[in-house]
Structure 1
Amino acid sequence: MAVGYLELLQRNKQFRRLWYGQIVSQLGDWLDSIALFILLLNLTGSGQALGLLLLAEFLPGALVSPFAGVVIDRLPRKLVLIASDLGRAAMVLLLLLVNSPADLWLVYVAVVLKVSMAAFFEPARSAILPSLCTREELVTANAISGATWSAMLAIGAALGGLVAATLGVRAAFLLDAASFLLSAAIIATVQVRPSERSGADQASRGRSVWALAGQAGGELRDGLRYVMRHRDVFWLTFTKALWSIGGGVLLLLTLLGREVFPLGRDGALSIGLLYAARGLGTGIGPLLALRLGGDGQRFLRRAIVIGFFVTAAGYLALSAMPTLALAALAVLFAHLGGSVQWVFSTALLQTKVPDQLLGRVFATEYAALTLTTALSAYLTGVIADQGVSPWALSLGLGGVFLVTGTIIGLALWRE
Structure 2
Amino acid sequence: MNQHIALLKHNKTIRILALIQLICYFGAWFSHVGIFTLLINLNAATWMIGLTAASAYIPSVILAPFAGVIIDRFRAYPLFFIFMFIEAITVILLLLVDSLEWFWFLQLMVFIRMGTAGIYFQVEMSLLPRILSKDDLKIANEIHSIIWALSYTLGMAFAGLFVAKYGVYNSFIFDFLIYIVGIALLIKLNLKENKKSTQQKAIHMIVQGFIYLKNNPFLIKLLLLHGFVAVTTYDTLIGILAKVNYKEILSASLTIGVLNTIRAFGLIVGPFVLSKFVNSKNLFYIFIAQGVGLISWGLLQGNFYLSFIGLFVTGLTTSTLWSYTYTLVQNVCDSKFYGRVIAYLDMIYLGIAAITSILVGFLYDLGLPAWLITVLMGVHFIIAALYYTKNIYHKL
Q: Which ranges in structure 2 are unaligned for 5 or more consecutive residues?
A: none
2:129 equivalent in structure 1: 130
Q: Return the TM-score normalized by structure 2.
A: 0.93
1:266 equivalent in structure 2: 251
1:306 equivalent in structure 2: 285
Q: Return the TM-score normalized by structure 1.
A: 0.89
Q: Distance in 1 between matches of 2:238 and 2:290?
A: 14
Match of 2:296, as an amino acid?
A
Q: Check 1:227–1:284 CA distance in 2 against 1; reply closer, same or farther (3 A cut).
A: farther
Q: Distance in 2 between matches of 1:17 and 1:151?
A: 16
State the 1:265 CA deviation: 6.3
Q: Please, what is the CA RMSD of the aligned residues?
A: 2.1
Listed as ranges, the matches of 1:70-85 within 5 Å are 70-85=69-84
1:390 equivalent in structure 2: 370
Q: Check 1:135–1:247 CA distance in 2 against 1; reply closer, same or farther (3 A cut).
A: closer
State the 1:3 CA deviation: 7.3
1:51 equivalent in structure 2: 50
Is 1:188 the counterpart of 2:187? The answer is yes
Q: Distance in 2 between matches of 1:87 and 1:65?
A: 18
**Counterpart of 2:42 in 1: which secondary structure?**
helix
Residue of 209, 222, 247 corresponding to 1:236: 222
Listed as ranges, the matches of 1:154-169 within 5 Å are 154-169=153-168
Contact 2:23/2:178 (CA < 8 Å) preserved in 1?
Answer: yes
Match of 2:104, as an amino acid?
W
Listed as ranges, the matches of 1:246-395 within 5 Å are 246-247=231-232, 249-262=234-247, 266-293=251-278, 299=279, 301-321=280-300, 322-395=302-375
1:98 equivalent in structure 2: 97
State the 1:233 CA deviation: 2.2
Q: More displaced, 114-123 or 263-272?
A: 263-272
Q: Distance in 2 between matches of 1:127 and 1:100?
A: 40
Q: Distance in 2 between matches of 1:337 and 1:217?
A: 39
Q: Distance in 2 between matches of 1:166 and 1:238?
A: 42
1:208 equivalent in structure 2: none
Is 1:218 the counterpart of 2:204? The answer is yes
State the 1:13 CA deviation: 1.1
Contact 1:257/1:263 (CA < 8 Å) preserved in 2?
Answer: no
2:384 equivalent in structure 1: 404
State the 1:263 CA deviation: 7.2
Q: Distance in 1 between matches of 2:382 and 2:290?
A: 9
Q: Distance in 2 between matches of 1:338 and 1:228?
A: 29
Match of 2:106, as an amino acid?
V
Q: Distance in 1 between matches of 2:296 and 2:317?
A: 14
Q: Check 1:187–1:396 CA distance in 2 against 1; reply closer, same or farther (3 A cut).
A: same
Q: Distance in 1 between matches of 2:335 and 2:249?
A: 48
Q: What number of residue pairs does the alignment pair up? A: 394
State the 1:55 CA deviation: 1.9
Contact 2:75/2:193 (CA < 8 Å) preserved in 1?
Answer: no
1:207 equivalent in structure 2: none
User: % of aligned pairs identical?
Assistant: 22
Q: Distance in 1 between matches of 2:214 and 2:153?
A: 36
2:141 equivalent in structure 1: 142
State the 1:174 CA deviation: 1.1
Contact 2:92/2:176 (CA < 8 Å) preserved in 1?
Answer: yes
1:112 equivalent in structure 2: 111
